Structure 1
Amino acid sequence: MLVHIPQILSAEEIAEFRRRLDAADWADGRETVGVQGARVKHNEQLPDTSPLRADLGRAVLAALKRSPLFFAAALPRKILPPRFNRYAGGGEYGFHVDGGVMSLSETEQMRSDISCTLFLNDPDDYDGGRLVISDTYGEHVVARPAGDLILYPSSSLHRVEPVTRGARLASFFWIQSLVRDDGQRRMLLEQDMAIQTLTRQGADEGAILQLTGVYHNLLRLWSET
């Protein structure tokens, strides 16, 4: 399930992120991938030990908490602290699949169910740099305005096209969802959105209550806590 969530960050927040990232000390992005990923990854990242990465990551997590759509789509149980990358001068990331299990700390691990890209500048700022996600329905080419978030299954084959002009800035992170199966998450999101629409339209309260009960019973059936 590919989900677009607009305006996770405000224009003011984006401006502050850009000011700080433009002055950042970037490192080779291959430091956070294995042997296979290192062969196709050519970009820059804030080091995992960077105080700026930790500070901006906390700001991203705070922004996510303000988005009901994010929680409805992701149903997050664990979120890997956000990282930040930069593509410029032909930088790219060839087709790859994200690792299935990631370390939250020395003692805690998480399953990667959902991959997330939060765009930190507009597509007009650079040429190339499109996120290409390949699934059973073909290839989806994604470029969104600054502040927008894309969620997609971590099992998807995906890449970032070479950036031939300017620089592409983004935050990226992974989620372990309460609901492991992507198809089940899709059905829950669609039902949640339908309930909200019917509520706004003043539909029969008894029917809405019944549908809400079905939603929570399915969530109870499918969730892992």
Structure 2
Amino acid sequence: MFLRIENLLEPGEVKRLREIAANTRFVDGRATNPASTVKNNTQADTAEPGAQEASRLIMQAFGRSPEFTNFCFAELVAPPLLTKYAPGMTYGEHIDAAEIQVGRQRIRTDLSCTVFLNDPEAYEGGELDIRLQGHHLAIKGRPGEAVVYPSTTFHRVREVTKGERLVAITFIQSRVRDGVEREILFELGEFYAFEAENVSWENRQRLEFVLQNLKRRWLDR
């Protein structure tokens, strides 16, 4: 299961992130994955103040997004990283590493996230291509839109043939490790939020009983 958050970032935040990207040093994307033979992009130098500001801006957006909170049940979120793709660049099909090192902390990658920062019309190619049960889902989001998907899925970034693709990426360790359990909690939570007022008080309480006790069983185990 994956989630699209259409307006994770406000227009002013998108503008600022583009400014940061234009004035921050980028390095070979293999700096964080030197063994990769399919990764061909650039990423912001994390020692740069601009890269750190960009990370904080996106983390703040995650924190105020109910969709992100209710879908991910995030325990740990890796600092979001700006990445660029110029013509000829691509990221071949792969599955994300099960763990990543962030400072002295290791984060289990249950979910991956891409935040789109420039207009899809500004570049050709560059779709995020996620393989789902033999089918391919190609996503090219609007500025400020985020896509969250299981890190266990095969995915790639198609070759950019014109223009520049600018996104931020991150990885999430969820408090609900099992993807099916996480999906059940999300769907029950969405149903409760939108439909609980339309059922009797008794049935609303029964739904609350199921939702809260499933959380007790599945959170932080």
Matches within 5 A, 1:94-105: 94-105=92-103
Aligned partner of 1:67 in structure 2 is: 65
Query: TM-score of the superposition, structure 2-length normalised?
Result: 0.96
Aligned partner of 1:163 in structure 2 is: 160
Contact map agreement 1:116 1:152 (CA 8 A) in 2: yes
Offset at 1:24? 2.0
Aligned partner of 2:115 in structure 1 is: 118
Offset at 1:137? 5.0
Aligned partner of 2:5 in structure 1 is: 5
Amino acid at match of 1:25: R
Amino acid at match of 1:57: S
* Structure 1 counterpart of 2:84, from 72, 83, 86: 86
Amino acid at match of 2:154: L
Aligned partner of 1:30 in structure 2 is: 30
2:184 is equivalent to residue 212 of structure 1: no
Amino acid at match of 1:186: E
Contact map agreement 1:198 1:208 (CA 8 A) in 2: no
Mark the CA change 1:46 to 1:219 in structure 2 (over 3 Å): closer, same or farther.
same
For residues 25-51 of structure 1, the C-alpha deviation after alignment (integer angstroms, 9 at most, x for no partner) is 11111101141x2x1111110012222
Offset at 1:203? 2.8
Aligned partner of 1:223 in structure 2 is: 219
Amino acid at match of 2:179: D
Contact map agreement 2:20 2:54 (CA 8 A) in 1: no
Q: Which region of structure 1 is more displaced relative to structure 2, 87-96 or 210-219?
A: 210-219
Q: List structure 1 runs of 4+ shifted beyond 6 angstroms.
A: none
For residues 4-29 of structure 1, the C-alpha deviation after alignment (integer angstroms, 9 at most, x for no partner) is 11101011111111122122211111
Offset at 1:204? 2.0
Offset at 1:147? 0.4
Q: How many residues align structurally?
A: 221
Contact map agreement 1:30 1:42 (CA 8 A) in 2: yes
Query: TM-score of the superposition, structure 1-length normalised?
Result: 0.94
Q: Alignment RMSD, CA only?
A: 1.3
Aligned partner of 1:49 in structure 2 is: 47
Mark the CA change 1:137 to 1:213 in structure 2 (over 3 Å): closer, same or farther.
farther
Sequence identity percentage: 32
Contact map agreement 2:24 2:45 (CA 8 A) in 1: no
The whole-number CA distance in structure 1 between the counterparts of 2:17 and 2:109 is 26
Aligned partner of 1:21 in structure 2 is: 21
The gaps in structure 1 that reach 5 residues or longer are none
The whole-number CA distance in structure 2 between the counterparts of 1:34 and 1:27 is 12
SS in structure 2 opposite 1:109? strand
Contact map agreement 2:2 2:149 (CA 8 A) in 1: yes
For residues 182-209 of structure 1, the C-alpha deviation after alignment (integer angstroms, 9 at most, x for no partner) is 111111111111111113x543233222
Contact map agreement 2:119 2:142 (CA 8 A) in 1: yes
* Structure 2 counterpart of 1:147, from 144, 149, 153: 144
The whole-number CA distance in structure 2 between the counterparts of 1:47 and 1:206 is 55
